[in-house]
């Protein structure tokens, strides 16, 4: 029963389609922009925030902690790409 409660909590904390659409609308450059690096970083940040809330309640959930670390690593990689892209655009002007 305890494991089922944990899975139910994780499912509740997951990003819903509505939340994803709200995040995408805030960050997107145009109407069809759903996969740009900016959008991906925003979605990853939102997922990281949700997992951080979960881990505050369930400190011993090491599986979710590992997932959080993977998300942080992925966001860091995307952010480095964005920083390099922005720096390149500024230098070329």
Quick: pLDDT tens for 32-46. Answer: 998 899 999 999 999
Q: Report in angstroms the alpha-carbon separations of 36 from 1, 32, 51, 54, 69.
A: 41, 10, 23, 27, 22
- The CATH number of domain 2-92, selected from 1.10.287, 1.10.150, 2.40.320, 1.20.140: 1.10.287
Query: The pTM is what?
Result: 0.80
Domain definitions of the chain by residue range: 2-92
Rounded to the nearest 10 degrees, the angle between the axes of helix 37-57 and helix 17-27 is 140
Work out the number of other CB atoms within 10 angstroms of the CB of residue 39: 20
pLDDT tens profile 18-29: 999 999 999 998
Contact of 70 with 44, CB cutoff 8 Å: no
Amino acid 83: pLDDT: 93
Contact of 15 with 53, CB cutoff 8 Å: no
């Amino acid at each position: 029963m305890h494991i089922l409660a944990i899975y139910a909590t994780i499912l509740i904390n997951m990003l819903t389609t509505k939340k994803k659409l709200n995040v995408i609308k805030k960050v997107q450059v145009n109407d069809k922009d759903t996969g740009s690096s900016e959008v991906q970083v925003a979605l990853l940040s939102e997922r990281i925030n949700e997992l951080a809330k979960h881990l505050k309640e369930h400190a011993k959930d090491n599986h979710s902690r590992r997932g959080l670390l993977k998300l942080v690593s992925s966001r860091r990689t995307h952010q480095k790409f964005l920083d390099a892209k922005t720096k390149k655009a500024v230098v070329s002007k």
